[in-house]
Each structure stands twice: as structure tokens, then as C-alpha cells.
């Protein structure tokens, strides 16, 4: 958590969020009006936050990770626009999965990278495949969000195939599950073997570029392309 | 700054960093051994940090942004590996330009995105062009790092051309210079007009995808592709 996030929570009259996230910050909830909700109720949660803020209260809507990366910020703005809500909105950036997972794996994101979600709930699968192929072909380090759920098990298999068409089977792959939580699990593997490791709903998968190497079970992408780069 | 970063600085015996960054955290330097250095001395700074840590001291090497995204983490590991240094290294993630610039612009990173540096110092320009074309073609929201320096002025012009071949001239573009600093400047423009705004060494440029829109001078990328998405 950032100091800025702490400050905002301290000043808030009302704190709204998904129950599991609010349970992580009990000290901030004392003496506040707290509205906690179940998973999958993002739209309701944002509407409640906006409506409460419009009554003049200072409302903090809590999001996991960074609200600005695949998260709640956009929904808040979309709903404010739709309802012509005039409250002042400020996004407090935080650590997204790419930040925390990269730190846990070593230094995989030292060079150009792409982030791709494999969830086809709101995005046509064809477009996701096109992005996977583009990222693989242009040698981007690639962070894969939502790699697998109970319902969606084939997408990560297909993603791996696409990368294998452009990148060596030995390319380092990192899997971070539940980063910074109690049940955090970190796996360093490679494109050939990655499906033998557990990949779940809380996992982020990072695939190295053609220069990425492993050292002491860490994944490191050099800053430069060989030949130009001297330490 | 994160609470974790504060904790690490408080526990450190020695704090090492680029002068300008250390000047931002005077309270943490009191009573510590402080080694500050000039810009462009990254390799020396990392070597000093590693050598000092090997003497048994607890060393904090300070980096701007997130050390794990286009920053010092990789260099530290590369030098530790080269010198067979056995000190324990921990990367404390922070807010990268993508996190803070996205927050300032609204919610541009709600969907798949790519980060591309236009610096051709350590990367062949052909590869950078290939990545720009791949990101443009596959409709990634794209964050451009190091868009322009005194020496390099053409790259951003070429990057814009590449995007215009795949995306509408009205595509929203955000330019954030010196995010969260005193001289912060935020510009919301579009592909057609972006070169009329100031873009410099401290700027990050974010180009929206085909669905990105502006509202109240903010840049918002919807979570889904229209047709599948209902609020």
C-alpha cells in the first residue's frame, strides 16, 4: 500500500469495497461508515460509491492491485458519465499484478512488455489470439492476466502454442499465484514445461523475451540486446 | 511511496541513490550512511550497493518509479551474477510511470496494453518499429516510454505514423510529463494533434485503443468490446 492510499483512507467518511479486500485493512475501518460487498458486484459497488459521494461525503472505493490497471477506475468513470454524476473523482495508483509479480520473480520487465488478459467474457477470443500472436512475434515480454479459471481451461494452452511458434521452448516463464498474500506461490519454469505447474484464477504468468535468462531461480531480462550492451 | 519501501529505508544502514531522488526523501536519510551519485552512473551505483551489502551492511538502493519496470532491478541482478556476489537481494515494487500516468489521465489501461521504449541506445530501431507496428495492429493501448530526448526527436514522429496506419486520427492520446512532481504537466490530445504538444525526456505518452474515448478531459478505455458489454 502507498502512503497516498493510507492518507485517503484516513480522510474518508465512507469506505466501500469487496469484503475480502476490506478485511486486509481493519485499522482503517474503525470509526468509519463501511459498505462491504460480495465478489462480482463491481457495478453495484461503483454506483453506491458515486451516489454516496454525490451526497457530499468523502468516499474511498477500495480496489485490489492498481485501480488503473484492468480494474475499477474505468467503471467508476463510465458510470459517472452515464449518470451525469458531478462528484470529484481521484484515482490513487497502486501496485498492479505486473509490479508485484515482477518483483517476486526477479527482473523480468526490464524491456518492452505487453499485458494480455485471457478472459473472453468481454473481449472476443479472436482479438485475444491476435494480441498473443503480435506480442509473441515482436518479442515482447508478456504478462498474462486471468490465465485460467474453472470454466476456462483451454486459453492458456492455446497461448503457450502461439508463443512456441515464435520463441524457444526454453524461454523462461514465471507463474505467481496470490502475490504478497499468505498463500503466495512462485514458480519459475519455461515454455516447454509451464503447463505442468499449477495455474489458477489468482495467477499471473510472465513469459520472457528472447534474451531473458534465469539465474538462482530468478527471471531476468537484460536491458539491451546483445552486442550493444556491455556491463 | 509504499509502506514497504518506507520500512526498508528505515531499517537500512546505508542508502544509495541518484542525488535527485534522495533529495525527495530527506527524512529517511537522517543518521544513515548516504551515498548519492550523479545521473547516468547506474552501473557504478549498483556495484557500490552490491559491494557494500557484501560487507554485511543492510543497503537500500533507491530507484525512481518501480525498480522492476525498465529500471535498476535487472542491472543489480546482472552485476551480482557477474561478480558472484552472494548478498541477499530483495526488490521492493513501486509505482512505475504506467501506474502514475494512467491514474493522472483517467483510466486508459482498462484493457490489454503494451509498453514500448523509443530509446534505441540498447535496442535496434528495427525491433522497436516492429513492436510499435505489432501493438498498433493488435489494438493494444500503448504506453510509450522515452518518447523524445534532445538527441532523439524523430522516433515519436515515426511512432505516430505507425499508429495512424492502424488507428483513427481521433484516437485519444495522453501525455504526462514529470508525473506527481512539482512541474507535472498533463495533456489530453489525439493521434492527429499529439505532436503539437510538448513531449520531452520526462514524458510518457499513452495511446488509446480503438474503443478508448475522452470525457471531461480524461482518457477512458472501456473494459469490454461493444456489443458484449452492458453497464
Q: Give the model confidence (pLDDT) of B75-128 as tens digits.
A: 999 999 999 988 999 999 999 999 999 999 999 999 999 999 999 989 999 999
State whether A114 and A186 are in the same domain. Answer: yes
State whether A211 and A126 are in the same domain. Answer: yes
Boundary of a domain, candidates A49, A82, A115: A82
A220 closest CB neighbour out of B67, B74, B113: B74
DSSP state of A141: E
Measured in angstroms, the CA of A185 and the nearest CA of chain B are apart by 16
Q: Is A230 domain-assigned?
A: no
Q: What is the mean pLDDT of residues A7-15?
A: 97
State whether B215 and B112 are in the same domain. Answer: yes
State whether B152 and B107 are in the same domain. Answer: yes
Q: Dihedral sign, CA of B93, B96, B101, B102?
A: negative
Q: Given the DSSP bridges, would you call strands B141-145 and A106-107 parallel, antiparallel or unpaired?
A: unpaired
CATH number at residue B197: 3.30.950.10
Cell 536491458 -> residue: A223
Higher confidence at residue A181 or residue A118?
A: A118
Is the predicted pLDDT of residue A231 greater than 60, yes or no?
A: no
Measured in angstroms, the CA of A210 and the nearest CA of chain B are apart by 12
Is the predicted pLDDT of residue B181 greater than 50, yes or no?
A: yes
Closest chain A residue by Cα to residue B85: A216
Grid cell at residue A169: 521452448
State whether B109 and B208 are in the same domain. Answer: yes
- pLDDT for res A40: 66
Per-residue confidence band for A228, with pLDDT thresholds at 50, 70 and 90: very low
CA distance A178 to B5: 20
Is the predicted pLDDT of residue B39 greater than 80, yes or no?
A: no
CATH number at residue A31: 3.40.1010.10
A vs B, Cβ pairs < 8 A, gives 218
Grid cell at residue B167: 488507428
Instruction: Name the burial class of residue A213, with classes exposed (0-12), middle (13-18) and buried (19+) by CB atoms within 10 angstroms of its CB.
Output: middle
Q: What is the mean pLDDT of residues B201-224?
A: 96
Q: Is B230 domain-assigned?
A: no
Per-residue confidence band for B225, with pLDDT thresholds at 50, 70 and 90: confident
Q: How many domains does chain B have?
A: 2
Q: Give the model confidence (pLDDT) of A78-89 as tens digits.
A: 999 999 988 999
CA distance A142 to A148: 16
CA distance B105 to B93: 22
Percent of chain B residues topping a pLDDT of 90: 87
CA distance A178 to A186: 9
- pLDDT for res A227: 54
Q: Which residues of A touch B231 (CB under 8 A)?
A: 43, 78-79, 82
Number of other residues whose CB lies within 10 A of the CB of residue A4: 17
Q: Is B90 domain-assigned?
A: no
State whether A114 and A138 are in the same domain. Answer: yes
Number of other residues whose CB lies within 10 A of the CB of residue B118: 24
Domain extent for A74 = 3-82
Q: Which residues of A touch B130 (CB under 8 A)?
A: 138-139
State whether A154 and A75 are in the same domain. Answer: no
State whether A109 and A204 are in the same domain. Answer: yes
Q: Is B181 domain-assigned?
A: yes
Contact by Cβ (8 Å): B74, B61: no
State whether A167 and A213 are in the same domain. Answer: yes
Q: What is the mean pLDDT of residues A155-161?
A: 98
Boundary of a domain, candidates A51, A82, A113: A82
Q: What is the mean pLDDT of residues B152-175?
A: 97
Is the predicted pLDDT of residue B227 greater than 70, yes or no?
A: no
State whether A73 and A104 are in the same domain. Answer: no
With vertex at residue B6, the alpha carbon angle to CA B2 and CA B7, rounded to the nearest 5 degrees, is 115
In the three-class reduction of DSSP (H, G, I as helix; E, B as strand; rest coil), residue B61 is classed as: strand
Per-residue confidence band for A226, with pLDDT thresholds at 50, 70 and 90: low
Q: Is B92 domain-assigned?
A: no
Q: What is the mean pLDDT of residues A145-164?
A: 96
Grid cell at residue B179: 508525473
Q: Is B46 domain-assigned?
A: yes
Q: Of B96, B92, B20, B98, whose CA–CA distance to B61 is shortest?
A: B92
Q: Is B210 domain-assigned?
A: yes
State whether B131 and A121 contact (CB < 8 Å).
Answer: no
Percent of chain B residues topping a pLDDT of 70: 97
State whether B70 and B160 are in the same domain. Answer: no
- pLDDT for res B217: 97
Mean pLDDT rounded to a whole number for chain A: 94
Per-residue confidence band for B200, with pLDDT thresholds at 50, 70 and 90: very high
Q: Give the model confidence (pLDDT) of A196-210 as tens digits.
A: 999 999 999 999 999
Strands of B54-212, DSSP E: 59-62, 106-107, 113-117, 141-145, 172-177, 185-190, 203-207
Measured in angstroms, the CA of A10 and the nearest CA of chain B are apart by 15
A100 closest CB neighbour out of B1, B93, B114: B93
State whether A231 and B2 contact (CB < 8 Å).
Answer: no
Sequence-separated (6 or more) residues with CB below 8 Å from residue B151: none
State whether B153 and B40 are in the same domain. Answer: no
Boundary of a domain, candidates B55, B82, B109: B82
- pLDDT for res B228: 47
Closest chain B residue by Cα to residue A222: B74
Q: Is B203 domain-assigned?
A: yes
Amino acid at each position: 500500500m502507498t502512503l497516498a492510499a493510507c492518507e485517503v483512507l484516513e480522510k474518508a467518511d465512507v469506505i466501500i469495497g469487496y469484503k475480502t479486500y476490506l478485511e486486509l485493512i481493519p485499522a482503517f475501518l474503525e470509526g468509519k461508515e463501511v459498505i462491504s460487498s460480495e465478489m462480482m458486484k463491481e457495478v453495484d459497488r461503483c454506483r453506491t460509491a458515486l451516489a454516496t459521494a454525490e451526497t457530499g461525503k468523502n468516499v474511498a472505493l477500495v480496489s485490489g492491485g492498481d485501480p488503473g490497471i484492468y480494474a475499477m477506475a474505468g467503471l467508476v468513470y463510465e458510470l459517472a458519465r452515464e449518470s451525469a454524476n458531478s462528484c470529484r473523482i481521484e484515482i490513487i495508483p497502486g501496485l498492479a499484478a505486473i509490479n508485484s509479480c515482477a518483483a517476486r520473480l526477479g527482473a523480468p520487465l526490464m524491456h518492452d512488455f505487453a499485458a494480455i488478459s485471457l478472459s473472453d467474457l468481454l473481449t472476443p477470443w479472436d482479438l485475444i489470439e491476435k494480441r498473443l500472436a503480435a506480442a509473441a512475434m515482436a518479442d515482447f515480454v508478456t504478462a498474462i492476466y486471468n490465465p485460467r479459471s474453472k470454466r476456462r481451461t483451454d486459453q492458456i494452452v492455446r497461448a503457450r502454442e502461439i508463443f512456441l511458434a515464435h520463441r524457444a521452448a526454453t524461454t523462461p516463464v514465471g507463474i505467481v499465484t496470490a502475490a504478497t498474500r499468505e498463500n503466495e506461490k512462485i514458480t519459475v519454469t519455461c515454455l516447454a514445461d509451464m503447463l505442468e505447474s499449477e495455474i489458477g484464477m489468482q495467477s499471473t504468468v510472465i513469459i520472457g523475451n528472447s534474451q531473458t535468462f534465469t539465474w538462482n531461480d530468478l527471471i531476468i531480462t537484460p536491458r539491451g540486446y546483445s552486442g550493444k550492451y556491455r556491463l
